[in-house]
Amino acid sequence: MIDFTLPELGENITVGDVLRVLVKAGDTLLKDQPVLELETDKATIEVPSSVAGQIKDVKVKAGDKVSVGQAILSVDESGAPAGQPAKDAKGSVAPAAQPSSTKGAAPAAAKPADGPAPSPPGNLKPEDTGEDAAAAHGPERTRDEPASEGRGAGAHGGDKVVAISRGARATTEPAAPELPVSPAAPSVRRMARELGINIDQVGGSGPHGRISVEDVKAQAKRLVAGGGGGGNDALFAGASLPDFTRWGDVERQSMKAVRRKTAQHLSAAWATIPHVTQHDIADITGLEEQRKRFAAQAEAAGGSLTITAIAAKVVATALKVFPQFNVSIDMAADELIYKKYVNIGIAVDTDRGLLVPVIRDADTKNIVQIAVELVQLSEKARTRKISLDDMQGGCFSISNLGGIGGTSFTPIVNAPEVAILGISRARMEPVYDNAGGFAPRLMLPLSLSYDHRAIDGAHGARFLRWIVEALEQPFLLAFQG
């Protein structure tokens, strides 16, 4: 009897919400058979089994939050169907000639004393991402590349290697591991880098001083508050709430995965990035005439010629003219990372919350191509078929609230990017012209937020003014882009 535990699902993914349990006690389980439908921070994933046998117990239910390494099923391997070699909870085949050999249920960063280091789960590969051919398996099946580091026992909060053999579990002491100076998982180290925090200056609250995400956040809050631990520190930590039931009935609802991740990510970005927001307004009267003129051609190609699609092309070109906006900051190394590619993230409003799919190599695509890809990505985001890869690698983000309303807003920089463009609703206004009178013109409000650590105010003003002029005079795209 063994436990099948939730495998590593991808970089920075440690927890998910169970949407559906696809098996039940008594079922005969096949290797690679989906057992859970899981909603992570940004995508819906089907979790396949790496073991075969008869299911004796299902340890989770719909609505539960599950973490990597948590037991999902109890499986009797002796009930595996013919032709399905029994595997342990991490996918290692049990050698027939060595029934007592150990197999790693919890892979360790260090090698065990008498054996090679276990390999990553063999059924989780980046190339496996895509739609499941079986309609009965529900939404798109996404399998992400497991993290290449931090697979040790310490990453799961333990200090021993647990090995599984047929019919027995054994515990062995690992060889002396060569741990880094500051023990922390790769996802924790990445967050520290993105926030500009030296991981070696963070105190770990976990076993043996292991550093957690919460430890990094606490360090960020202390830095923002000036290390004084005053009112700001209490605010970021979350002050105690009053008893709201004193004034009436209330209902508590758990945050969904996307909302939870959005709250964490934007809180960290707002707390650590010195934001500046620059506002300007573009006369798009002529652009709107051209947009309507060519809209049918974009629709025939499968796209929608929106202001967002046009703005994506304009911004992609602007990043070539102003490369200091296509960077990320590595505060630990005191370096700016200049990117030689241009990927534009587009914020999409969904019933699960805000998602930001990425249009890759936007500088090499024309507006129609961008319009088609934007329609496809938006549809995938709204139907829960968007993959994690579709939302990674962005250089700059665009958020268009014009379809809802408003005159301006201050978008939050989507770290580790250094700038984001907000678009509000265009409106007709009387504009004084060179003839000495007023004429109705369609004016588009724009708001550019940027990281003041990387971008000076003058550069921000020039960048936004270039975007305004490119919208007003499209020839500028070809002339300077």
98 alpha carbon, distance to own chain's centre = 42
Q: Quick one: CA dihedral 141, 415, 326, 357, positive or negative? A: positive
The string of DSSP letters for 349-416 reads: EETTEEE--EETTGGGS-HHHHHHHHHHHHHHHHTT---SGGGS--SEEEEE-TTT--S---PPP-TT
Amino acid, single-letter form, for residue 457: G
**Residue 73: what are its φ and ψ, rounded to 5°?**
-135, 150
Q: Which of 137, 265, 452, 459 is catalytic?
A: 452
For residues 204 and 148, what is the distance between their CA atoms, to the nearest angstrom? 22
Is 33 buried (19+), middle (13-18) or exposed (0-12) by CB count in 10 A? middle
Listed in order, strand segments (DSSP E) in 79-135 are 103-104
CA nearest to 46, candidates 60, 62, 34: 34
Tell me the pairing of strands 53-58 and 65-67. Answer: unpaired
Helix 367-382 vs helix 307-321: crossing angle, to nearest 10: 120
For residues 180 and 209, what is the distance between their CA atoms, to the nearest angstrom? 12
For residues 200 and 25, what is the distance between their CA atoms, to the nearest angstrom? 47
For residues 371 and 365, what is the distance between their CA atoms, to the nearest angstrom? 10
Helix 457-472 vs helix 307-321: crossing angle, to nearest 10: 130
CA 438, 440, 446: angle at the middle one, nearest 5? 110
Listed in order, strand segments (DSSP E) in 135-201 are 161-165, 168-172
Answer yes or no: 156 catalytic: no
- Tokens for 370, please give them: 């961008």
CA nearest to 71, candidates 8, 5, 21: 5
CB 135 within 8 A of CB 93: no
Q: Which residues are catalytic?
A: 452
